[in-house]
Amino acid sequence: VEGGAKLARDAFPKLRSTPSAANVAASGLDMALSLPEENPLRKELIAALEANARAVVDDEKLQMPADDRSGVYYALVDARHAAGDSVGARAMAARWAKFLEDAAAAAPNAEARTVFDGHRLAAYRELGEVERAIPMLEQAERDLPDDFNPPARLAIAYRELKKYDEALAASDRAMAKVYGPRKLVVMAGRSDIYKDRGDTAAARKTLEDALQYANALPEGQK
């Protein structure tokens, strides 16, 4: 991991003006943050890579996919948390949310707009304002009735708001549409809803069902 962080730090100047800048900055910063506290280079690498990441989000002229730029914001929020800077983390999360809202507003259609839904939910959760995600996700579910992602994300949002009946109802809708290994993610989230509601038996049963489902998947998907 240390080697990867160093590589990202050293490669960034050459890639600074390219679409690869976002991935190098975000992945490098993530690796630096994952270094153990006792690593003598951790602080130095985080400082350098956080500066690189800030340069990416501050350069509005730099052409790159919006979801790549969003990933850099995510890493910067994590960096502020790691520094114990809750005020800075919240300020960066607010910038992140505004960026995503603008990107979603400029999207040409519902499919393009919902690309940002997961990122927006994460940003709103960082801000402690997860209720802001509900209208967005309800609209996405209406626009894309065959997509399991909107109701699955609604289940996450309602769980965080402690609206467990609504969370389970959304999870039901997601379960009816999801398939393959992705179903395990929805089932794990469903177990968490039951756990938070205090129904440990249902939480355990859901995980047992998930394991049974996982074991029945084709070899290439396990």
What is the predicted pLDDT for the residue at 12? 96
Q: Is 80 exceeded by the pLDDT of residue 222?
A: no
What is the predicted pLDDT for the residue at 221? 84
pLDDT (tens digit, 9 = 90+) per residue, 168-208?
999 999 999 999 999 999 999 999 999 999 999 999 999 99
Residues 6+ apart with CB under 8 A from 115: 66, 67, 107
Indicate yes or no: pTM above 0.85.
yes
What is the predicted pLDDT for the residue at 40? 95
What separation in angstroms does the CA of 146 have from each of 3, 180, 215?
Answer: 43, 15, 26
Structure tokens at 139: 């609209």
Q: Give the pLDDT band (50/70/90) at residue 220.
A: confident
Whether 120 contacts 74, CB under 8 Å: no
Whether 154 contacts 164, CB under 8 Å: no
Say how far apart CA 202 and CA 132 lie, in whole Å: 29
Say how far apart CA 137 and CA 132 lie, in whole Å: 9
Q: Give the pLDDT band (50/70/90) at residue 60.
A: confident
| Helix runs in 130-181, H state only | 133-143, 149-160, 164-175
pLDDT (tens digit, 9 = 90+) per residue, 18-47?
989 999 999 999 999 999 999 999 999 999
Dihedral, CA of residue 176, residue 138, residue 101 and residue 144, to nearest 10: 50
Whether 114 contacts 147, CB under 8 Å: yes
Say how far apart CA 79 and CA 29 lie, in whole Å: 8
